[in-house]
Amino acid sequence: MNNMSLESYTGLIRLRMSAHDAHYAGHLVDGAKMLQLFGDVATELLIRSDGDEGLFVAYDNVEFLAPVYAGDYLEATGRIVAMGKTSRKMVFEARKVIAPAGIAAQASAANVLVQPILVCRASGTCVVPAQCQRIKR
């Protein structure tokens, strides 16, 4: 029997957005990249809760709140907020924690943001089929 509480099921990824991630003019990163990060966090959460990667079924809410650019460092976090027999309800947030300084003479300059910027939040549901659950509650 797994004695972990729901609060124990949290995950985090920290990643730099590269020029490859930029999709639009001005080195703007496509919002779909945030969903990819949330999918990776969800996979970690399912492995921690069930010992299996499971499947992402649907997002029920996605909000893009601030632009993300190549060179930004993001933290994507998630947590399981409800567990059914096979379903796992999750919430996610992505925050910009480092941004390029914008100094033309020093293109490699960057700033750690004192107050991280919430760039995206979402919620969704994943499923781990009963026969795939290796960690029993």
Distance CA 72, CA 42 (A): 22
Domain ranges, residue 16: 6-132
Q: What is the CATH number of the domain that holds 94?
A: 3.10.129.10
Residue 137 included in any domain? no
Give kind and range of the element (H or E) at residue 35: helix 32-50
Residue 86 lies in a domain: yes
Could you give the C-alpha distances from 124 to 79, 91, 117, in angstroms and in order? Answer: 11, 7, 22
| Residues ≥6 apart with Cβ < 8 Å to 53 | 43, 46, 47
Q: Is the pLDDT of residue 4 over 90?
A: no
Q: Band of the pLDDT at 6, cuts 50, 70, 90?
A: low
**Residue 63 in this model has a pLDDT that exceeds 90:** yes
- Give a yes or no: residue 23 inside a domain: yes
Residue 113 lies in a domain: yes
Measured between alpha carbons, how far is 20 from 8 in angstroms, rounded to an integer?
Answer: 34
Q: Is the pTM of this model over 0.75?
A: yes
- pLDDT tier for residue 9 given thresholds of 50, 70 and 90: confident
Please tell me the total count of domains within the chain. 1
Query: Does residue 94 belong to any structural domain of this protein?
Result: yes
